[in-house]
């Protein structure tokens, strides 16, 4: 065995070196206490980057939680919005159907009132106004029966009126090619 300067050690020196106690492990608790004390005094910093005073695993967890909260908020918002829109569409369709039914009721009442007024008026002028009113009334009746038979094909009254008027001059006329075409006179 040699000394640090390269000289050979004697047997006594070797025995003295062998008698020395070897270094013992101080343990993890002593190391932890020493590191904490050095950090408290500001002599030792935490390794790694800090973001808003948090260690990386915590800020990654925060970002993941924020993303999950955002996505769930968007999903719930879309779900609630779609149900609200669907409800409004159904309500609008029902309202439109009710408005159409009310319009049909008003038009039917106006039609009957106009026919009553036409029947009460005597054709004193002699210019054929009564005949023209009768033709217009029949054409309107035929058009209404046709639309009603399209709306409710199984309704026997609308089908009967349409079939009966189909053979008349108002129900249809043949064009030059001989095909039947609809003519409504007003």
Is residue 174 scored above 50 in pLDDT?
A: no
Cβ neighbours around 22 below 10 Å, total: 4
Total domains in the fold of the chain: 2
Under the banding of pLDDT at 50, 70 and 90, the label for residue 168 is low
> What are the CA-CA distances from residue 121 to residues 107, 114, 124, 176, 183 (Å)?
21, 11, 8, 38, 27
Residue 39 lies in a domain: no
Cβ(151)–Cβ(143) below 8 Å? no
Report d(CA 182, CA 171) in Å as an integer.
7
Under the banding of pLDDT at 50, 70 and 90, the label for residue 178 is very low
Tell me, yes or no, whether 99 and 147 share the same domain.
no
Tell me, yes or no, whether 155 and 173 share the same domain.
yes
Tell me, yes or no, whether 154 and 103 share the same domain.
no
**What local confidence, expressed as pLDDT, does residue 58 receive?**
75
**What local confidence, expressed as pLDDT, does residue 21 receive?**
76
**What local confidence, expressed as pLDDT, does residue 69 receive?**
93
Q: What is the DSSP letter of 8?
A: B
Tell me, yes or no, whether 132 and 115 share the same domain.
no
Tell me, yes or no, whether 75 and 94 share the same domain.
yes
Tell me, yes or no, whether 55 and 112 share the same domain.
yes
Tell me, yes or no, whether 63 and 106 share the same domain.
yes
The terminus-to-terminus CA distance of the chain in angstroms comes to 132
Cβ(129)–Cβ(118) below 8 Å? no
Residue 167 lies in a domain: yes
Q: Provide the residue range defining the domain that includes 58.
A: 51-120
pTM: 0.39
pLDDT tens, 16-72? Answer: 888 887 777 777 888 888 888 988 888 887 665 555 555 567 778 888 899 999 999
Question: For residue 128, what are the contacts with CB-CB under 8 A and spacing of at least 6?
Answer: none
Q: Is 88 helix (H, G, I), strand (E, B) or coil?
A: helix
Cβ(35)–Cβ(44) below 8 Å? yes
Report d(CA 77, CA 145) in Å as an integer.
48
**What local confidence, expressed as pLDDT, does residue 133 receive?**
81
H or E stretch including 180? Answer: strand 180-181
Tell me, yes or no, whether 157 and 100 share the same domain.
no
Residue 16 lies in a domain: no
């Amino acid at each position: 065995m040699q000394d640090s300067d390269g000289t050979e050690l004697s047997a006594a020196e070797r025995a003295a070196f062998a008698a020395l106690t070897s270094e013992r492990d101080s343990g993890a608790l002593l190391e932890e206490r020493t590191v904490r004390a050095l950090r408290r005094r500001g002599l030792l910093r935490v390794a790694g980057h800090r973001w808003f005073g948090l260690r990386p695993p915590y800020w990654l967890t925060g970002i993941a939680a924020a993303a999950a909260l955002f996505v769930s908020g968007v999903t719930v918002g879309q779900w609630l919005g779609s149900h609200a829109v669907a409800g409004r569409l159904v309500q609008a369709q029902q309202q439109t159907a009710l408005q159409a039914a009310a319009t049909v009721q008003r038009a039917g009442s106006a039609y009957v009132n106009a026919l009553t007024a036409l029947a009460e008026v005597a054709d004193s002028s002699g210019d054929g106004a009564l005949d023209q009113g009768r033709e217009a009334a029949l054409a309107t009746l035929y058009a209404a029966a046709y639309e009603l038979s399209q709306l409710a094909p199984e309704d026997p009254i609308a089908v009967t009126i349409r079939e009966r008027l189909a053979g008349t001059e108002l129900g249809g006329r043949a064009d030059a090619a001989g095909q039947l075409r609809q003519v409504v006179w007003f």
